[in-house]
Structures are given as C-alpha cells and as structure tokens.
Structure 1
Amino acid sequence: MEFEEPGLDLLFGSGREASEVQRKNMGEQRLNAGAVPGHAELVASYPELSSAICTFASGSLTQGWAHGKSDLDLFVVFQDAVQKSDLHNLELLEVRVSTTDPVSWIALGELGQYRADIELWRESQIDELIERFSSSPDKYTVRPNYAEQDLLYRLSQGVSLAGDTWLAQRKETLLASAYGPWLAESQKLDAEGMLEDVEGLLMSGDGESAALAAHRGFSMALHALLALYGDYSSSHKWLYRRLVAAAPTELTLAEGWAALSMSGCDGAPADWAGKTAALIQRLLTAVEKRAL
C-alpha cells in the first residue's frame, strides 16, 4: 500500500487556495493587508449586490485581530427579498431563520486577497429580530438560532461600508434593547448547570472531568458577563481578547487568563476545579447584580 498525499476538495470557492503555494501567498497578503475592501470593490465584483441599502464589515479584520487565514465577513442588507435567480456570480448557501421571511443567504466569493463570506439579509428580518427584544422577553419569545445570534453580534460590531445612518440606527436600538440581558441570562443558566456537574464530579472523585466541566462553566460565565458589557459574541477563540477589550471590573486579566489556560490544573485537577467553581459563582453573582 502506498501513501497518497491528501487532496483539498473545496465545497465552495473557485479553488485559489487549493495549492500549498497559493495558500501561503494569500496568507502573507492577508497579514500585510491595508484597508478592508469597500462597497465599491464589492459592487464592482458582484454588481447584483448594488441595490443594497446597507453594507457593513465585521469580524477579526475590522477589530484588528486578523490572521493569515482570516476571511472577510460582509453583511449586505436589502429592502426586498433576495431572489436566488438574480445572484449570478455567487455560490450560495441557504440559511433558514425564524423570521417571517424564513430564508437568508450566505454567498461565498473573493474580494482582493480575501475569501469573502457575504451574508445577505432583508431589512425586515433584522428589524424583526431586534424588535423581539424591545422589552424583556418572556416564555413565548422565539429564541434566535445560531445564525441570528451571530448576525446580531456582527451588527453590534459592524463597520459601515455603505448605509452609515441605517447601521447606526440599528446599532443604537440593539444596544438599548433587552437582548444583552437576555443573552447573559441564557449563558448564566448554562453555567449554573455546569456548576452542578462540577460539584457532582468532585463528590464522585473524578477530578479530571470536574476540571474540564469547570473550564467549560467558566467560559459560559464569562460570556454571560461580557454580554452585559455589550459583547454579544459566542466565539471562544477570541475570548481572552474580548476580555481585554471589555475590561470588566468584576474580573482581572490575570484571573481570566489563569482560568482560560487552566493554569495549575495539571498537578491537582480537583483542587483547580474547586477554585474555578468558586470563581464561576463569583462571576454569576456579579451578572445577577449587574442585570438588576
């Protein structure tokens, strides 16, 4: 039996990143990139997007956290429903959402040195999502799915490429809504469940599993706290950077990094789990107080 070098079978994209040399070159270009491509470049490459009422960028490139594999995350908002037949030059992935119009699209293309992930939304869909949280939600409120929660996060952090007033108004409405407290409460409940697991695992003598549960619970508790500081992201890889950016008074950077990196866990996982559980409880208490 002879070993065959694995190939890269791309589901989407034109294949510019299919070879190792091309991937390396594109990575270097991304690390040394200048300004993020704007609305004019987008419309020049994809004229079918020219009728948008707002275009904004979001993600690591706009936050100064880009790396050699970063994609360009763009969000294009239309007044009318987007018809697949009108989008000739883009590879499309349909996304089902919980709004009255149940379909949004992710278009995969290229813009400059970037692979571009372009989400296509209707104005009415975004307004409907924000309106759900115009007051405190109750048990009848439809929970946003992952795609919708990600959209609201990207909207809150978006950098306008076209339609500045539209974006500014939606940002202001979203940040003043009950969405942040709702998101914090959701993460808080998850963290409380994980705390129960930590306690049970310690009682059974399984220190290693207790430590892993405590690490997960800390991440949930930190997400809950950050949501009350206007950070609606669900991304774990940027969690320490997000902690630095938010600078919550309830947690020092040293405490945060020690818990995220599981510092001191190797020698005594049960002890680490117990100490981290106490830190989680402290954060959850702070979330309760801040949410009042």
Structure 2
Amino acid sequence: MKIDTARVREILHDRQLVPDTCQAAFVVGSSARGWGNEKSDIDIYLVSGEPWSGPEMIDVSVPLRPATVGWHTFFADNRGCDLAYWLDDQVDQMLAKISWDAFDRARAASGDALTVREEVFLERVTTCLPLIGEDWVARRRAEVGASAFRSILVTRSLGQADRAVEDSLGQLEGGDPHSAVLSARIALHHTVDALLEEQGNYGSEPPKWQARRFRETSPATLSFARYWELETMREYNPDDPSRWINEVLTLCQDLALKIEV
C-alpha cells in the first residue's frame, strides 16, 4: 500500500508534532517498504538536534545518552500513527557501535553490539520513506552502508544458526526428535537471515516479514520454492523426523560456507 507522504507531512504539521530543531522525519517499517495494508499502523521517526517534549509523550528506554526516546501515538484518517522522537546525537552513538573498530574488537560475536531497538532503527534508515530532511537520510544511509552493520548482523545470525545446528544434532542423537525439529527450524531461520543480510536486506525483527524479504532479495544460492518448502515443512514425515532434520541441517551448513561476512 502506497503512503501519501504529502498527507502525512500535513497531519504532522497540523498537529504540531514536528520539533523546531527537526532535522529529518521519515516513515519506517512495513509501510515504508510497501508491505503495509489498510490495517497497518504508520510508524514515523523524527530526529532533532535538541530534546523536545510534545503532547502525551511517553519515554522509552534506550542504552544511549540521553537514555530515553519520546513516543507518541494517535489516530488520523482511520490509521494508527506511532511517532518516535530521536536525537541526532543518539544516532551518532548508534553508528559508533557499528564502526569497523568496534567489529574488530569482536563485539559482534557476542550478539550484544546493539539492542533490538537500535538495530531496528539502523535497519529502518536503509529502507525508510523520507518526509523531511532527505539529505540527512541520504547521509545516514551512506554511513550505515560504510559501517560494519552488515558484517555484525551476518556474524550474529551465522553464530545463532551454528548453535541451533549443534543443538539439533545433539537432541537427535539423544533421542529427542521433537526438540531436534524445533532446533532445526531455528537454524533454518537464522541461516536465511544471514543469507539476506549478506545482500544488505535487513529486518530480522519482526520475523514475520522473512518471506517478503526473501522474495525481495532472491538470493542465488537458494530458491524461494525450496526455502518455502522447508519453512512450511511440506515434506516432513512424523514417522521419520530425522530425514527432514538432516536435510535442513545439511542445507544450513552448506549455505553457511557460501555466506561472506
């Protein structure tokens, strides 16, 4: 569903929701990527140079300075709108966490280089729909592109996939095929995330959009038909779960060898 950016800007200004020091405002998430529908909320980030306290704001915690982001929700044109107010300096701090120097210090391998909220912000900058400050958005996109963001996410996803593969193998050998099936599904999910992240298609949070991301990316090493066959467990036989498990785990291990960090 296409977003009417002129109408969204009009609503923000009419409701006096744009700070005086606003440097950029942009639609993010499924609506920005053209995946939304009539029931989808419109998520908007606004970035300013100075803190701003608007109407009915709530504070959401972030591991930055300052340690909160303002949040405001309202309805317009029969759609829910969620606004998040960030500071430009907070964006600088997030970018510092994904520098190549930070990656070289092996912070990525631990999986805690970024919180989910920070990761989602940076991912959404790469796919957002600008409303105000197109130059700001272009500059930040370039900074994310030049950073270790891709490598951090790919490394994290491959690590999670590898642990799930080992879990599944151990559970299968230990006579727990049901747990092994679930671990194999986890391994497949993270391996596909790594495959898409390698191509610069981020957004593993929320996982419900993985199939859309896959179709958008069309990776050469795995067809959508094959991915969807495994994701939906089309050939799974409950009388012989090990066959499906080994098939999935073999694919995950083969793909991992082809994915570049």
TM-score, length-scaled by structure 2: 0.90
Which of 93, 96, 103 is 1:131 aligned to? Answer: 96
Q: 1:114 to 1:63 in 2, by over 3 A?
A: same
Q: Secondary structure at 2:257's aligned position in 1? A: helix
Amino acid at match of 1:143: A
Match of 1:262 among 224, 228, 233: 233
Partners of 1:134 and 1:178 within 8 A in 2:
yes
| 1:193-213 Cα distance to aligned partner (Å, 9 max, x none) | 100111011112322221111
Partners of 2:24 and 2:145 in 1: how far apart?
Answer: 19
The CA deviation at 1:48 is 5.1
**Residue matched to 2:198:** 228
Aligned Cα root-mean-square deviation (Å):
1.9
Alignment of 1:277 onto 2:249: yes
Tell me which moved more, 155-164 or 200-209.
200-209
Asked if the contact 1:180–1:230 (Cα under 8 Å) also holds between the matched residues in 2, the reply is yes
Does the 8 Å CA contact 2:3/2:31 hold for their aligned counterparts?
no
Q: How does 1:6-21 map to 2 (within 5 A)?
A: none
Count, aligned residues: 253
2:118 is matched by which residue type in structure 1? E
Compared with structure 1, are the counterparts of its residues 139 and 93 closer, same or farther at alpha carbon in structure 2 (3 Å cutoff)? farther
Q: 1:45 aligns with which of 15, 32, 35?
A: 15
**Local SS of the residue matching 1:95:** strand
1:155 counterpart residue number: 125
Identical counterparts, % of pairs: 24
- Any unmatched runs of 5+ in structure 1? 1-30
Q: Deviations over 1:132-181 (max 9, x none)?
A: 22314224687211111111111111110010000011001101211110
Q: Decide which of 24, 33, 39 is 1:54's aligned counterpart.
A: 24
Task: Find 1:76's aligned residue among 46, 49, 56.
Answer: 46
Task: Identify if the C-alpha distance between structure 1 residues 63 and 140 changes in structure 2 by more than 3 Å, giving closer, same or farther.
Answer: closer
Separation of aligned partners in 1, 2:35 and 2:237: 30
Looking at structure 1, the residues matched to 76 and 149 of structure 2 have their Cα atoms a distance apart, in angstroms, of 33
Q: Is there any run of 5+ residues in structure 2 with no aligned partner, and where?
A: none
SS state of the match for residue 245, structure 2?
A: helix
Larger gyration radius, structure 1 or structure 2: 1
Normalised TM-score (structure 1): 0.81
